[in-house]
A and B are shown apart, each in its own frame.
Chain A
């Protein structure tokens, strides 16, 4: 069963303490075309300060392209955009001075050790040794890399590299941290460490913008998110609001014997979806179907509350993307 408690907490925490109500990012009608391919097709954004804002979408949805536009790294074909109320892309240098970026691909500098990576990166922000040096230890602790400060980058695990990349994004003490798939490819332990670090950042009232394919990540971290596909926003809201809006509260997944179950009259009360040999039954009243399933033999099933993944699949469909 999925634990949705953290999301609730997050909503409560962020009801207070947002003194500055002007959105940190405002975009209107953003569009970007690569050759013939429309990557971002009219996206409007307003990202509130001090929250965690998520972009959720399948592969190729346009998440990275959208983030790159926010940073002035991808010129857009149409639309208007301000970050910190500064017009983009004209003021990109100033904006990036106040943003921390965790890119989708690893860009740590293999020619340097862990601590040197932080120092050298800080030098690109024009920070002096004296400003940076006192911060290094704190950042290494934050990344749980204190013991590895002199290690070479290629000796680090995927999780360590990711943590270092996040620490690196904080050297300039940014107001806004942009993370493109911060936990993709990591094991559950590594992912949980990163989640707790990101929660700390949010509690320190940094604004976070992150993209992810992991529904659990979005549910735990994001106060608000947009679901994106084919460069368009399909819907926007808190994880709970989206779940409420798009799917019935309970799901029964029938994994063995779906062919028989589909003919039962008890199934009428549910909205069903077939996926391979599994049958997904979305319903408000699971009891009749559950009773019959429990009585039947040879049928494997799972009863759970609906989650963001169900919303995601409902909005973006079940076909494979690439």
Chain B
């Protein structure tokens, strides 16, 4: 297509400078960030898990609190990375002109978006790990295998951060992001196995959710957290890696068209 530069992206070490920039900014807001990361999931888990758990009992052979906590580890990595990839990246790209400043240095869009994606994943990781710790405190973590959930949560952050940046590249303003939340994020939250197992869904819907990345994220994280065997790990990992790399590529192409004109 005309006007698109489809050259394969090549991120270099400069990406880490972009990531570090975000770490420096975030460090100042450590207090509220920690409160958000720990406070919110704690309330959710106690409220839903204990309150609702009384009525629900066992779900998929797990106490509901364990089922829910392990699902939320994945979904909170998703929402955190999504927010960062949309609102924060948009702020830096458009009103704040941070990328314009960075593009005056040897860095290119490939590096900037790689750094941003790493940062989205870092934030996703922090919120996922916070829930993991809260879950451990509530006794739902099944053992050392839960440590394997940590790199997976980072990958989940990359996946959803990358997808969010595609929206950001296309957005004219913040309102645009509502579409993405209503059409994709909230449905995934509801349907991909965070709150209840997928096999309760109608057959056709079960097929649909198989193409959504959160389904695969939950399918990996839940057994790792509760200490159960993981089925089809290769498939789930490939889907997440596929979404992450494809969306990084598309976001780079779209942002190139937007900023390198």
**Closest Cβ–Cβ distance, residue B195 to chain A (whole Å):** 36
Indicate if the CB atoms of B260 and A121 lie closer than 8 Å. no
Indicate if the CB atoms of B105 and A96 lie closer than 8 Å. yes
A106 and B97 in contact (CB under 8 A), knowing A73-B260, A116-B24? yes
Q: Which residues of B contact A123 (CB under 8 A)?
A: 17, 20-21
Residues of A144-195 contacting chain B, CB below 8 A: 169, 172
Q: How far is the CA of A109 from the CA of B95 in the complex (A)?
A: 11
Indicate if the CB atoms of A126 and B21 lie closer than 8 Å. no
Chain A CB within 8 A of B241 CB = no
Taken residue by residue from 75 to 116, chain A's Cβ proximity to chain B (1 for < 8 Å, 0 otherwise) reads as 100000000000000001110110001010111111110001
Q: Which residue of A is nearest B112, CB measured?
A: A124
Q: Which residues of A contact B105 (CB under 8 A)?
A: 96-97, 121, 124-125, 172
Q: Which residues of B contact A172 (CB under 8 A)?
A: 105
Indicate if the CB atoms of A108 and B101 lie closer than 8 Å. yes
Q: How far is the CA of A106 from the CA of B95 in the complex (A)?
A: 11
Q: Which residues of A contact B9 (CB under 8 A)?
A: none
Indicate if the CB atoms of A103 and B21 lie closer than 8 Å. no
A-B interface, 8 closest residue pairs, ranked by CB to CB distance from nearest: A107-B101, A124-B105, A101-B104, A107-B97, A123-B17, A111-B25, A93-B106, A97-B106
Instruction: Pick the most buried of B21, B104, B108: most chain A CB atoms within 10 A of its CB.
Output: B104
A126 and B24 in contact (CB under 8 A), knowing A107-B100, A109-B98, A121-B101? no
Chain A CB within 8 A of B14 CB = yes
Size of the A side of the interface (Cβ < 8 Å), in residues, is 29
- B interface bracket (residues with beta carbon within 8 Å of A): 20 to 34
Q: Which residues of A contact B98 (CB under 8 A)?
A: 107, 109
Q: Which residues of A contact B97 (CB under 8 A)?
A: 105-107
Residues of B212-251 contacting chain A, CB below 8 A: none
**Closest Cβ–Cβ distance, residue B3 to chain A (whole Å):** 10
Chain B CB within 8 A of A71 CB = yes
Q: Which residue of B is nearest A168, CB measured?
A: B101
**Closest Cβ–Cβ distance, residue B235 to chain A (whole Å):** 38
**Closest Cβ–Cβ distance, residue A159 to chain B (whole Å):** 19
Indicate if the CB atoms of B104 and A96 lie closer than 8 Å. yes
**Closest Cβ–Cβ distance, residue A163 to chain B (whole Å):** 16
A126 and B96 in contact (CB under 8 A), knowing A112-B25, A116-B24? no
Q: How far is the CA of A206 from the CA of B9 in the complex (A)?
A: 33
Chain B interface (Cβ < 8 Å from any Cβ of A) = 5, 13-14, 17-18, 20-21, 24-25, 96-98, 100-108, 260-261
Q: Which residues of B contact A169 (CB under 8 A)?
A: 104
A74 and B101 in contact (CB under 8 A), knowing A116-B24, A124-B14? no
**Closest Cβ–Cβ distance, residue B7 to chain A (whole Å):** 11
Q: Which residues of B contact A125 (CB under 8 A)?
A: 105-106
Q: Which residue of A is nearest B17, CB measured?
A: A123
Chain B CB within 8 A of A120 CB = yes
Q: How far is the CA of A121 from the CA of B103 in the complex (A)?
A: 11
Indicate if the CB atoms of A126 and B14 lie closer than 8 Å. yes
Indicate if the CB atoms of A126 and B13 lie closer than 8 Å. yes
Q: Which residue of A is nearest B99, CB measured?
A: A107
Can you name 7 extra interface pairs (CB under 8 A) apart from A74-B261, A107-B101, A124-B102? A34-B261, A92-B108, A103-B104, A105-B97, A107-B100, A120-B24, A121-B101
Indicate if the CB atoms of B13 and A103 lie closer than 8 Å. no
Q: How far is the CA of A120 from the CA of B98 in the complex (A)?
A: 11
Q: Which residues of A contact B14 (CB under 8 A)?
A: 124, 126
Q: Which residues of B contact A120 (CB under 8 A)?
A: 21, 24
Indicate if the CB atoms of B17 and A124 lie closer than 8 Å. yes
Indicate if the CB atoms of A75 and B260 lie closer than 8 Å. yes
Q: Which residues of A contact B100 (CB under 8 A)?
A: 103, 105, 107
Q: How far is the CA of A125 from the CA of B14 in the complex (A)?
A: 8
Q: How far is the CA of A120 from the CA of B107 in the complex (A)?
A: 13
Indicate if the CB atoms of A124 and B106 lie closer than 8 Å. yes
Q: How far is the CA of A74 from the CA of B260 in the complex (A)?
A: 6
Q: Which residues of A contact B96 (CB under 8 A)?
A: 109-111
Indicate if the CB atoms of A93 and B21 lie closer than 8 Å. no
Q: Which residues of B contact A103 (CB under 8 A)?
A: 100-101, 104
